[in-house]
Amino acid sequence: MPAAALALALCGLLAACGGGKQTVRRTPPPAQPARVWPHVDPDNPVAANAVLMRAFSLVGTPYRYGGNTPEGGFDCSGLVNYVYRDMLALNLPRTSRDLAGYQGPRIDPLRLAAGDLVFFGSSGNVSHVGIYVGEGRFVHAPSSGGTVRLDRLDGPYWRDHYSGAKRILK
């Protein structure tokens, strides 16, 4: 009898292990592998360095539609214009769309060099611009309520809205 009682108790314990509510954790989707951004030397490293240092110094400046000064804030093309004018005395078109049509060759994403302009939009329309700084990152003035910041080209929004790049520095 003791062997039968032991077997019955063991069956009861095993049955209890399978019962009750269990939480099933979903496996998160695999992260996309980080893109490798090759280092490409700019044609004019001194000018590129000046542009990058000035752009970095403006990180944190508030966004303002139509803004084009550190004191008043920046929109995306205002930031680009200010940096290139301040550091290189280069006057560029004012809007992101006009900047996209500006002289200079289009650049393959894997040939980007510091100081290149990167463009974003949808349906063939350019609506945003930033300054490429290297390693897949760019400085830009993103939107109302935001500030000038550094972002990654392979971030979900920017990757999906990337529309091309132009080399301004020669």
Task: Please report, as a single letter, which amino acid is at residue 168.
Answer: I
State the number of CA atoms in the 13 A half-sphere of 138 facing the CB: 28
Is 11 part of the annotated catalytic residue set? no
Other CB atoms within a 10 A radius of the CB of residue 70 amount to 17
Catalytic residue among 11, 17, 39, 128: 128
Other CB atoms within a 10 A radius of the CB of residue 112 amount to 25
Is 161 part of the annotated catalytic residue set? no
Q: What span, in angstroms and rounded, lies between the C-alpha atoms of 127 and 144?
A: 14
Q: What span, in angstroms and rounded, lies between the C-alpha atoms of 32 and 98?
A: 33
Catalytic residue among 11, 39, 140, 161: 140
Catalytic residue among 11, 17, 39, 76: 76
Structure tokens at 34: 């980080």
Is 76 part of the annotated catalytic residue set? yes
Structure tokens at 24: 């099933």
Length of the chain: 170
- Taking phi over 0 as left and psi of -120 to 50 as alpha, with beta for the rest, 37 belongs to beta
Q: Provide the annotated active-site residues.
A: 76, 128, 140
